[in-house]
Structure 1
Amino acid sequence: MLGLLVMLPLVLGAQQCPSVLDPAVEPRLACFVDATPACPPDRRYCVGLQLHLADGAEQTPAWMAAELEHAFKLFAPADVGFTVVGIDAISAEFAVMHTADQRDEVGRQQFTRGVIHVYLVAQLDDVDIPGAQIRGVHWRQRSNTDKRWIILSQIGSNVVMAHELGHFFGLPHSRYTDSIMNKRPREQPPWDARVFVPQELEIVLKQRDAMLRDGSLETISSPR
């Protein structure tokens, strides 16, 4: 009986996250695919996220799930959802990102078209303000700006990935009061109530169609 009680948590965990039983998968990476939400079934477009977790970074599947849920909310008017299609570990040299050169180098060899690459790091320094940190960035490789990815710091709240995805879908920072792309300090609306305003949504829709048309993104026909 004691043996059954000991095994029960493992069995229940494997039902929710089958990859925990795969010896080829690092334990800290195991549940990022299985235990994060897939694209909502009502979305016409489902975009894959390829995650890369730096050694030393502390993001968890629950952390990523919160980021995804908020992105689902903001991108609902664009009929777009996101799903984690894979994850791998990257070197600890990228866990603390001090420089623009590191931002360039992190995705130089791993970039592929069709999905959005998201790098999870422990610390992301502001390359324009010495000593300051930021929560996330949409970064274009400076030697080839067609190659781009998102970098997220572990100190980011659940709205950060949605903001950076806004940049990926063509949005600059803005001054619209209700916009998540407006970073100006203000109390209202609270961060989790900020959205893409109609003027921004128009840009998102055009960029969505352009990226799907040129192969920068591909939609997944059968989400997990």
Structure 2
Amino acid sequence: MTPRLRAGLFVLSAQVVLASVEASAAEPAPKPFVVKVHTALVSGTPVASEAWLASQWDSVRSLLGPAGLAFEPSLAPAPKQPIPRSLETRADRDLLRAFAVPKVLNVFVVEALRDVDEPERQRMGVHWRAGGIHYVIVATYAVPGGAPCPPQYRCSEHSGLLTHELGHFFGLGHDPRADNVMSYSRAGRALWFSEPQKSR
């Protein structure tokens, strides 16, 4: 390779790199989903601490950010009537639609959430549809720091709970592979989404 050709290739390579950097810089940031977080109260105190909420949103951002999703969460205004702290029936879940803020993503945080199909069980979270809208409900016993966690749920392994339920919100079903965000199976590895899941 002649010195002139080598110099020409260097200049071309530099131009390609510069163009790539400029294109990346020009790409607009994804428009964030506006999220309103509705938290139930116990004796005037939210069932979810700031640390609990922060840990859940850290997981959401780290796992859904690479898929091009961004979120702008904030606490919903205090309602005139209190949000139920424990949801026992389908009707209880349906009642939350009255608290939902229109045209945003609504997340409800409660102390306990009963399985409506198997009433002897408690659930950690659910994606719920009622009255033509849908929203996410999560229970604070899902990670350490909330209400006492049913031991069979191994709650310390489910810091990705909110991410899992948001996956349902965006149309993802369950996945059988261990440590996939949409799986019930945990083997102790880092949580992950597959490339097809990210592209949905």
Provide the TM-score with structure 1 as the length reference: 0.63
How many angstroms does 1:83 deviate by? Answer: 2.1
Match of 2:85? 95
Give the RMSD, CA atoms, in angstroms. Answer: 2.0
The separation in 1 between residues aligned to 2:164 and 2:129, in whole angstroms, is 16
How many angstroms does 1:110 deviate by? Answer: 2.8
| Structure 1: 5+ residue stretches without partners | 1-41, 204-224
Identity %: 28
The separation in 1 between residues aligned to 2:39 and 2:78, in whole angstroms, is 5
Kept after mapping to 1: 8 A contact 2:38/2:106:
yes
SS across alignment from 1:45: coil
Cα gap change, 1:48/1:93 in structure 2, threshold over 3 Å: closer, same or farther? closer
How many angstroms does 1:100 deviate by? Answer: 0.8
Matched, 1:119 2:108: yes
Match of 2:198? 201
How many angstroms does 1:43 deviate by? Answer: 4.8
The runs of at least 4 aligned residues of structure 1 exceeding 6 Å deviation read: none
Structural mapping, 1:152-163, within 5 Å: 152-157=138-143, 158-163=159-164
The separation in 1 between residues aligned to 2:29 and 2:126, in whole angstroms, is 26
User: Residue type of the partner of 1:87?
Assistant: A
SS across alignment from 1:117: strand
Matched, 1:66 2:66: no
Match of 1:26? none
The separation in 1 between residues aligned to 2:134 and 2:94, in whole angstroms, is 9
Match of 2:167? 166
After superposition, the C-alpha distances for 1:115-162 in whole angstroms (9 at most, x for unaligned) are: 210111111111111121111111111x42xx0011111111331111
User: Residue type of the partner of 2:120?
Assistant: G
How many angstroms does 1:109 deviate by? Answer: 5.0
Larger displacement relative to structure 2 (104-113 or 162-171): 104-113
The separation in 1 between residues aligned to 2:124 and 2:162, in whole angstroms, is 9
Match of 1:176? 177
Cα gap change, 1:140/1:187 in structure 2, threshold over 3 Å: closer, same or farther? same
Choose 1 or 2 for highest CA Rg.
Answer: 2
Residue correspondences, number: 154
Cα gap change, 1:154/1:177 in structure 2, threshold over 3 Å: closer, same or farther? closer
Matched, 1:86 2:75: yes
Matched, 1:148 2:134: yes
Match of 2:40? 54
SS across alignment from 2:98: coil
Match of 1:104? 94
User: Residue type of the partner of 2:199?
Assistant: E
Provide the TM-score with structure 2 as the length reference: 0.70
| Structure 2: 5+ residue stretches without partners | 1-27, 144-158
User: Residue type of the partner of 1:105?
Assistant: L
